Amino acid sequence: MTTGRAAVLEDGALVVSEVEYADPGPGEVLVKLVATGLCHTDLGVIAGGVPFPTPGIIGHEGSGVVQRVGHGVSSVNPGDKVLLSFTSCGECPSCVAGHPAYCATWLPRNLMGLLRPEGSASITRGGEPVANHFFGQSSFGTYAIADERSIVKVAAEADLTVLAPLGCGVLTGFGSVWNVLQPGETDTVAVYGTGAVGLSAVIAGALRTPARLIAIDVVDQRLELAVDLGATDTINARTENVAERLTELTGGTGVTKSFDTTGSPHVARGALDAAAVGGTVLVCGAPPPGTEIPVDIQSILPGKILRGVTMGDTDPRELIPTLVALHGEGRLPLEKLERRYTLDDINRAAEDMHSGATVKPVIVY
C-alpha cells in the first residue's frame, strides 16, 4: 500500500485528498508521477458530459518513474522513466492490426472505468473505494496504477514535465494529421480550433508542407501562436466570415483536408460545406453522447468524406518515441503550449483552460 494525494472528482469539482494505492495487479505498473497534462476530455468529465463513476480520479496525460510492477509485466522495470497514454486489449482485430485506438473495448476500458483486468489494484480514500483506471492510468495524483499497455518507456534523460502532454492531446492532434489526413504539397489544410490538439495538428501539418495551412479560432493570441508554429493563414471566426474567407483563400475550389477539433456540430457542418470535391473532413472531440452533425446529402455526393478519429489513430508505442525525437530536434516546441500548475491549483488550471487563458496546463507534482 502506498499513500499519496489525488484530485478526486465529486459533485462536479476536483477535491485534493489523501488516497491509498494498492500494489499493482497482474499487467499493472505503479508509477510515481512527475507531471500530467490537463485535457479537454478531462473538462468534459468534470462538466458531466463524459460519463465516469464518482468519486473518482481522472487525468490521462501522465509522466513519471516506475516504482513497482505487477505479475507478467515485462516492458518496464522499477526506475524506468515512462509516459502514459490510453489502454487497449491487445487482442482484438483492431489492436492486432496496429490500430489500438479502435480497440473493440476502447470505451469501457478508457472512458467509463468499467473494464478492469482481473486482480486489478484498487485506490481508496479513507478506506472507501475511489473509481480510477481512467484511460488505464488516472493520473491526477502523485501516483498512478497504470496498465502496461498504457506505458511508453522513454530515455533516462527525458524531461518528463515537458513531455507529459504527449499521451493524449498532442498525440491526437499530431497523429490525426500525420497518420490519417496525410496532406501533400498541393493540399489546402484547415484546422478548426487551436487548443492543444489543434496546434499539435498545425505542427504536424507544417512538417508536411501543404500549399496552405489555415488555422481557425476565436482567440487572436492562439491564432498568432498558430502562425508561429507554421500556419500560413488564420481566420478569426468571431470577427470574420469563415466561409467567405475560405473561398477567398482557396480560390473557390474548397479545402482538401480539414480537421475539426471543436466537437461542435455547427463547425463540422461548416467544414463540410467548405470542403473541396473529394475533400476530407476529420472530426474529433468528446461532445455529449447523442450530439449529431447535420449533413446535406446532396452536398457530399461529389466525393466528400466525413470521418471520425480517436487518438489520432495511433499506436502510442510507435508515435510517442517519434514525438519525443521531434521535440529533441526542436521541431515540436511543446514549451510554447504549456503552463505549469501545482496539484492544489488544478481547479484554476481547469478554469484557465476552459477560458482559453492557457493552451495546455501541466500539473507538476
What pLDDT is stored for residue 285 in this prediction?
A: 77
* Span 68-99, pLDDT tens digits: 999 999 999 999 999 999 999 999 999 999 99
d(CA 300, CA 178): 24
What pLDDT is stored for residue 206 in this prediction?
A: 97
d(CA 106, CA 206): 30
- 65 half-sphere exposure, CB direction, 13 A CA radius: 9
SS3 state of residue 246: helix
Ranges of residues in the chain with a pLDDT under 70 are 113-115
d(CA 190, CA 122): 44
* Alpha helices, H only, the chain: 40-46, 93-96, 106-110, 160-163, 169-175, 196-208, 220-228, 242-250, 265-274, 297-300, 316-328, 346-355
Here the cell at position 25 is: 495487479
CA distance between the termini of the chain:
20
Residue 340 to residues 36, 163, 261, 335, 337: CA-CA distances in angstroms? Answer: 10, 12, 23, 10, 10
d(CA 111, CA 53): 10
Strands 338-342 and 360-364: parallel
What pLDDT is stored for residue 35 in this prediction?
A: 98
SS3 state of residue 353: helix
What pLDDT is stored for residue 114 in this prediction?
A: 66
Are 193 and 218 in contact by the 8 Å Cβ rule? The answer is no
What pLDDT is stored for residue 327 in this prediction?
A: 96
Could you tell me the strand order of the sheet in which 128-129 lies?
56-57, 2-10, 13-21, 123-125, 128-129
Domains of the chain: 2-167+333-364 (3.90.180.10), 172-311 (3.40.50.720)
What pLDDT is stored for residue 151 in this prediction?
A: 96
**Residue 317 CB-density burial (10 A; 0-12 exposed, 13-18 middle, 19+ buried):** middle
CA-based nearest residue to 36, from 139, 135, 112: 139
pTM above 0.85, yes or no: yes
Are 178 and 259 in contact by the 8 Å Cβ rule? The answer is no
SS3 state of residue 224: helix
What pLDDT is stored for residue 116 in this prediction?
A: 75
d(CA 255, CA 276): 5
Cα 264-270-274 angle, rounded to 5 deg: 145
d(CA 319, CA 315): 6
d(CA 75, CA 79): 12
